[in-house]
A and B are shown apart, each in its own frame.
Chain A
Amino acid sequence: MRRQRTSFSVFVSVSLLVISLVFILPIIFCIFTSFKESTEIIRDITFFPRKWSSVNYDYIFARGAKYLQYYLNTIIITVCSVAITLVLSALAGYAFARLPFKGSRLILSMILFLLAFPLCAILIPIYMMEFEIGLLNTYLGIILPNLLCILPFSIFIMRGTFIDMSGELEDSAEIDGCNAPQAFLHIMLPLAQNALIIVLVSGFYNVWGEYTIAKTLASKDSIMPISVALTLLKSEDWNYGVLAAAITLSIIPPITIFAIFQDKLVEGMTAGSIKG
């Protein structure tokens, strides 16, 4: 039995190692490429750079401190979108799951419709509308369409979670005289931590690298997020060295954050699992 366990855990570790390599090798290759000169990148390719060079980073940094601004824009847009999504999706998800009212099913199916609708088809009307009301080239003008993308799915996650929870706790809270917001805040929300983290990750995932909306609605440096700004580095064609440097720069902050908080993230997910 024990031997079987060990061989099983070896199997798990080895497969995980292989899978991890599949995911991480392209990124490591990209990081190495960012330190190569262009001749080395397209002729006689090797995995490791033969000569470390910072020429690609120089190219990017020569474009000045603008990049700090682009980062800041991405962070503002992502943080605001995700924060709003967390609050709104928890509230709405709870209402759809636990506080049904006349017309709630209709609203829910309208949200499903939004989830299904391809954004690119309404991009031009959105542009025209934002133009009219003066939202173009503002953070809010980018955050709102981003919400359109992430909020509906988040609501479905939250709704599913609240439906899954047993009603007993809530009922007893009601008997104690809690009203709906109190029951929601003090009892149900802490139990939904797990789902909130998923909403957070999925929101982050969708907004951080979002390109189509931002490209259409943000043309000023003061608003433009890094995902669009990096494509401005494209010359007639991508210089792969510069591209690799750009990718490396754009993934360093989120990976650092993830590396620091990954324990917490996993812990948080586990802590949510009181049900069962």
Chain B
Amino acid sequence: MKKVLVFVLILAITVTAAFASGSGESADSGKKTITIGAESWEINKLFLEQAAAEFEAAHPDVDVEIVTIADQTKLANYILDWGRGTTDVDLVFLDGGIFSVEYAAKDLIYDFEKDLDFFADFPKSNFTPGSLETGFINDGQYCLPAIYEVYGISINKAMFEEAGLLDENGNPLPIKTWDEFYDAAEKLTKKDSNGTATQVGASIQFGNNLHIILGSAIYAQFGDAYAEDGITYNVDNDYIRNMIGTWQKGIQNGYISQSTFVDNAGGRNGFKAGQIAMCFEAAGRWMEAIDTIGTENLALIPIPGDFGGTVCFGCQMVIPRASENADIVCQFIKEAIYGEYVQVNAFSEYGKMSVIQKYFDEALEGTPIWNGIADSMSKARPLKEYEESQKFLNGLNQIFQGGLVSTTTTPADMVDQILDLSASIRK
């Protein structure tokens, strides 16, 4: 009896398994299907479904299918699949160029310029300055940015007003140095009688994007994020030691939030909740806070520093060499992703900046708050991606999360640790 049951069960499973694996591969005759893999936020914020519908309408012989990627560890699977020359996606959206380094190293993805000649009928001059470089990995255009973002400081003007940090026209007083940033954070922090902070002056993203925070702060001062060797972050100087010192003081006195230590979204959520006054992260954060804080209370200011630039990074697209539809995918990128609908709406709805200059200008007109960092946007440059970027990022996180709260570690120690870390990883 039991054995019969086992037998039936195993049979049933095999049948369903076979059925399920078979059902996925129904090939349409005549119609070509391109499959796009993207994370849920990319599907929403880059309007991929609308882009697909638009493209299908213009090309009735092509089906565009979108699959959701659970998270970036999925990328390990792609290395395996693509290494064997198979793929179930034709175009993949990556959270940043950092994730494409592995593919580029193993030559699993197309170089848009050399292999696909993408720019023949789509000149590079269409792109916003700086944006295309975000997809330049290992000396090749292995990625194309779908949108890009810059770093900046979103601020809550209502809190600035209360702290007396607005000028007579209602514009925020400029914050030119990290010492001024610290003073502002101090003024913006409110504590109750027990010393518990009810409003925190600032948040800096000491989490998943710490290398961008550090890189953009260096770049904003020197106009180049790297030291003389062209690859190590330029941290070995008094300016950076002083900057880290103000961060450390800020954290230890409770003027700078620690939330981003464990939750990468801690800063933006606190900003949204109206409990953090300044949020140093990707500059688009202010848009998320419109519902809770109101457009009239929001503004953007550039990162402190003499040069005044900022770092940009993109949401990148890659095409695996295993894909047979690279030419249609390129067509899709040119028409749909780089089309007006996606580029303008991603910018004006979600602050994901257009990589196409003419749509960038168009969208900018509708959202004047961006003008607060217009100068620094025009000087935006991407950072270089190391081979062991993930290890570098992880090491930075430890150095900062440990050092900033420690009373015994000095900023100079932390700089030494960063240099050691930098020397130990493959670039």
Q: Could you tell me which A residues sit within 8 Å of B by CB distance?
A: 38-39, 42-43, 76, 80, 83-84, 87, 91, 124, 127-128, 131, 134-141, 143, 185, 215-216, 219-223, 228, 231-238
Contact = CB atoms under 8 A, between A and B. Distances in A.
A237 B269 contact: yes
Interface in B110-149: none
Interface stretch (B1-9, B165-173, B327-335, B406-414): B1-9
B40 interface: yes
Nearest to A216: B77
B70 A39 contact: no
A235 B13 contact: no
Contacts of A232: 40, 68, 70
B17 A124 contact: no
Given A215-B74, A235-B41, A236-B45, A87 B80 contact: no
A84 B23 contact: no
B292 A143 contact: no
A83 B292 CA distance: 50
* A-B complex: 8 closest residue pairs judged by Cβ atoms: A140-B17, A237-B265, A138-B17, A42-B273, A235-B41, A236-B41, A232-B68, A138-B21
Interface string B303-346: 00000000000000000000000000000000000000000000
A138 B291 contact: no
Interface string B67-95: 11011011011001100100010000000
B368 interface: no
26 contacts: A38-B291, A39-B292, A42-B292, A76-B16, A87-B5, A127-B77, A131-B80, A131-B81, A131-B84, A137-B20, A138-B18, A139-B13, A139-B17, A139-B20, A140-B17, A215-B73, A219-B74, A220-B24, A222-B23, A231-B70, A232-B70, A234-B39, A234-B40, A234-B71, A235-B44, A237-B268
Contacts of A83: 9
A154 B91 CA distance: 43
A222 B88 contact: no
Contacts of A134: 21
Contacts of A228: 70
A140 B269 contact: no
Nearest to B81: A131
B274 interface: yes
Nearest to A221: B67
Most chain A beta-carbon contacts within 10 A, residue among B10, B12, B17, B269:
B17
B80 A138 contact: no
B211 interface: no
A246 to B, nearest CB: 12
B23 to A, nearest CB: 6
Contacts of A141: 17
Contacts of B291: 38-39
B61 to A, nearest CB: 24
A72 to B, nearest CB: 11
B272 interface: yes
A210 B75 CA distance: 20
Given A43-B273, A137-B20, A231 B41 contact: no
B20 A43 contact: no
Nearest to A143: B13
A87 B6 contact: yes
B77 A138 contact: no
A68 to B, nearest CB: 15
Contacts of B264: 237
A220 B17 CA distance: 13
Nearest to B79: A124
Nearest to B73: A215
B14 interface: yes
Interface of B: 1-2, 5-6, 9-10, 12-14, 16-18, 20-21, 23-24, 39-41, 44-45, 67-68, 70-71, 73-74, 76-77, 80-81, 84, 88, 264-265, 268-269, 272-274, 291-292
A135 B18 CA distance: 9
A146 to B, nearest CB: 12
Nearest to A88: B6
Contacts of A221: 67
Contacts of B18: 138
A211 to B, nearest CB: 9
Given A43-B273, A234-B41, A219 B77 contact: yes
A201 to B, nearest CB: 20
Given A39-B291, A141-B17, A143-B13, A124 B76 contact: yes
Given A87-B6, A223-B20, A43 B74 contact: no
A14 to B, nearest CB: 32
B290 to A, nearest CB: 11
Nearest to A240: B269
Given A80-B13, A237-B265, A237-B269, 15 more contacts: A39-B292, A42-B292, A43-B274, A80-B12, A91-B2, A138-B20, A139-B16, A140-B13, A216-B76, A219-B77, A219-B88, A232-B40, A234-B39, A236-B41, A236-B45
B357 to A, nearest CB: 25
B74 A140 contact: no
A125 to B, nearest CB: 10
A160 B80 CA distance: 42
A234 B70 CA distance: 9
B24 A80 contact: no
Nearest to B9: A83
